Amino acid sequence: MNEIKYPARINKYLAHKNICSRREADKLIEEGKILINGKPAKLGDKVNENDSVTTKADPKEGHVYLAFNKPKDVITHSPQGEEISINEVISFSKKVFPVGRLDKDSHGLIILTNDGRVTGKLLSPEHDHEKEYVVRVDKPIDARFVRKMASGVVLDDGQRTKECKVSKMSTNVFSIILTEGKNRQIRRMCGFFGYAVTDLRRTRIMNIEMGGLKVGQYRKIKGEELKTFLSELGL
C-alpha cells in the first residue's frame, strides 16, 4: 500500500489507517465523533503526520482490544482485487480494525480494536513504542551485520532509521526491536547490506506478546495487560 502524503484529508487518513471507509468517515465527522487534536473535525479538514486523531466511542459498544496472529498473504489495508483482508479471516462480534500494518509477506502479532484513540498514540513518530520481530535472512549473519543494523541504516529514500536493538539468534536468524515503523523497514534495512528476508514474524508490540497464539487465532487483551498497554499509551 502506498504511503499517505501529508497534509491529508481527514477521511482519507482514517481510511488509510483502516479505521473506516471514507464514506463512513464523513458520517462520523458529521456526527461529531472524530477529533483532531481534541477538537471536532469538519468535512474537508486536513491532518499532518504529528496531529492527534481520535474517535469518540459509542457508549453502547464499548472498546475491545484483540491480539491477532496474522497469517502470511493477509493484508492490513483496504483490499484491492483478490487480496485477502483481515476481516475475511477473523470473525468477531464487533467491528474492529488493525492498528498499523504488517505487510502481506510477513506474519505475527497485530492489534485489532474499535478504539480509534489507539492508532494515533501507538503510531505517532513522537513516541518510541517498541515492536519486536524475529527475522530469517538468506545467508549467515555476523557481528558486523548486527552492529551496523543496530546503529541505523540510510534507506533507499534517503531516510535514516533510528538506532535499534538487534540480537543474533542463530546462523541466519536475528531479533530486532524497533521504535518506528517505516514502510517495509526491516526488509529495506537488510537489503542495504545485501541480505534478503526469507521470513519475518512480529512477536511483540509494547507489552503485548503473541505468546502461544496459533496462526489465524486471536485473544482478548484484558486485565493488567490491557491496563499497562493503555497506561503506556497515555489513555
- 112 phi/psi in degrees, rounded to 5: -115, 140
Residues 102 and 215 reside in one and the same domain: yes
pTM of the model: 0.78
Cell output for 85 = 483482508
> What's the grid cell of residue 34?
472524530
Q: β-strands 74-75, 84-85: how paired? A: parallel
156 and 45 fall within a common domain: no
- Nearest CA to 213 out of 83, 19, 27, 66 is that of 66
Flag whether 60 is in a domain.
Answer: no
Q: Which helix (H) or strand (E) holds 198?
A: strand 197-205
Query: Do 216 and 191 fall into the same domain?
Result: no
Enclosing domain of residue 71? 65-116+211-233
Q: Is 70 helix (H, G, I), strand (E, B) or coil?
A: strand
Which grid cell sits at 51?
A: 496531529
Same domain (yes/no): 201, 215: no
Per-residue pLDDT of the chain (235 residues; tens, 9 = 90+): 456 788 999 998 888 776 777 888 898 899 888 889 889 999 999 998 888 887 776 554 688 999 999 999 998 876 666 777 787 888 777 788 888 889 999 999 999 998 888 887 888 777 789 999 999 999 999 999 999 999 999 999 999 999 999 999 999 999 999 999 888 999 999 999 999 999 999 999 999 999 899 999 999 999 999 999 999 998 8
What is the residue whose three cell numbers read 464487533? 94
- Does the residue 103 lie in any domain? yes
Residue 216 located in a structural domain: yes
> What pLDDT score was predicted for residue 1?
46
Q: 144 and 187: one domain?
A: yes
Q: Annotated active-site positions, please? A: 103
Residue 196 inside a domain? The answer is yes
122 in a domain, yes or no?
no
Q: How many Å apart are CA 221 and CA 210, to the nearest integer?
A: 11
Domain annotation covers residue 124: no
Q: What is the DSSP string of 41-56?
A: --TT-EE-TT--EEEP
> From the CB of residue 25, how many other CB atoms can be counted at a distance below 10 Å?
24
Minimal CA–CA distance to 221: which of 67, 68, 86, 110? 67
Report the domain count for the chain: 3
Q: Are residues 199 and 147 in the same domain?
A: yes
CATH number of the domain to which 218 belongs: 3.30.70.580
Residue 178 and residue 73 share a domain: no
- pLDDT on residue 135: 99
43 lies in a domain?
yes
Question: Does one domain contain both 32 and 136?
Answer: no
Q: Are residues 89 and 200 in the same domain?
A: no
Cis amide prior to 7 (ω within 30 degrees) = yes
Cα separation of 228 and 31, whole Å? 31
Q: Is 132 helix (H, G, I), strand (E, B) or coil?
A: strand
CA distances from 33 to 22, 25, 55, 196 (A): 14, 9, 5, 44
| 189 shares its domain with 155 | yes
CA atoms within 13 A on the CB side of 149: 26
Q: What CA–CA distance (Å, rounded) separates 57 from 96? A: 12
Q: 96 and 48 share a domain? A: no
Q: Is 18 exposed, middle or buried (0-12, 13-18, 19+ CB in 10 A)?
A: buried
2 within a domain of the structure (yes/no): no
- The domain that holds 190 is classified in CATH as 3.30.70.1560
Do 38 and 147 lie in one domain? The reply is no
HSE-CB at 34 with a 13 A cutoff on CA atoms is 28
Provide the CATH number for the domain around residue 49: 3.10.290.10
